[in-house]
Amino acid sequence: MPRTAAPPVPSGEGPEEIPFAHEVRRKMLHLLALAVPAGMALLGKPVLFVLAPLALLALTADLLRVRAAWFRRFIERFFGAMMRRSERPPLGGPVSVNGATWVLVSATLLTLLFPIDIAAPALAVFMVGDAAAALVGRRWGRRRWPGGSRTVEGTLAFLAAGLLTMAFMPSLPFGVGAAGTAAAAVAEALPGPLNDNLRVPLVLATVIFALERFALGIDAPLLAW
């Protein structure tokens, strides 16, 4: 039988969608947060003394959003339009960790676990690739991957933007970085048990670390300061 094309992916529909204009604003803030991997590269491992408190503060804010009405009103007023439905639980409901908090948690874990010359590029490549995937997938995505909501077009955008970003990372061999970026694109496309803001950069950094150590013989121990 001839293969039929998957139906177009609706733009701005579904339980997790927000209007495309708000998606653009969300991803612009996401890209402004490239200051985080830049700070990681500049300060090295001691950046943990900044990242860990910020991650804890963000997690506390997520808790307050469902426990304190005044704080919930404050967050909704300034950021509510850019938050997905799952990030906006009702007052008194379960705690939901938003995307910005996950980025800080990921930055903290990457800095703790990996050499900084892997951690910082991994987070930067993820952030650029994720923004490209979301915007291209929402605007031009037509074919969904089986079993998920991600689109082929979004994944290709992740890969292209990630490879372009990786080309500007002199601390990593490009071939190794490209392999990590490809693995991250797959991890971003597939549904997983963890939030993609945590899962994808960890996959990217792990693949780069493994290839450097076992394929190139670069001795870069985990948890090294």
The HSE-up count of residue 163 (CA atoms within 13 Å, CB side) is: 11
| Nearest residue to 194 (alpha-carbon basis) of 126, 71, 106 | 106
> In degrees rounded to 5, what are phi and psi of residue 26?
-60, -45
Give just the sign of the alpha carbon dihedral 186, 191, 195, 199.
negative
Question: What is the pLDDT confidence band of residue 14, given thresholds at 50, 70 and 90?
Answer: very low
pLDDT tier, 94 (very low <50, low <70, confident <90, very high otherwise): confident
Q: Which two tokens stand for residue 146?
A: 């089986």
Helix H segments across the chain?
Answer: 20-32, 35-43, 48-65, 69-79, 99-113, 116-140, 152-166, 174-189, 196-210
More confident residue, 27 or 224: 27
Residues 165 and 129: beta-carbon distance below 8 Å: yes
Q: What is the pLDDT confidence band of residue 69, given thresholds at 50, 70 and 90?
A: confident
Which range (44-58, 66-80, 144-158, 181-195) has the least confidence?
A: 66-80
Q: What is the pLDDT of residue 191?
A: 82
User: Cα 197–203–204 angle (5° rounding)?
Assistant: 90
* pLDDT of 91 over the 90 cut: no
Give tens-digit pLDDT for 190-218: 887 788 999 999 999 999 999 988 866 66
* pLDDT recorded at residue 12: 37
Q: Residue 79 above 80 pLDDT?
A: no
Average pLDDT rounded to a whole number, residues 124-145:
89
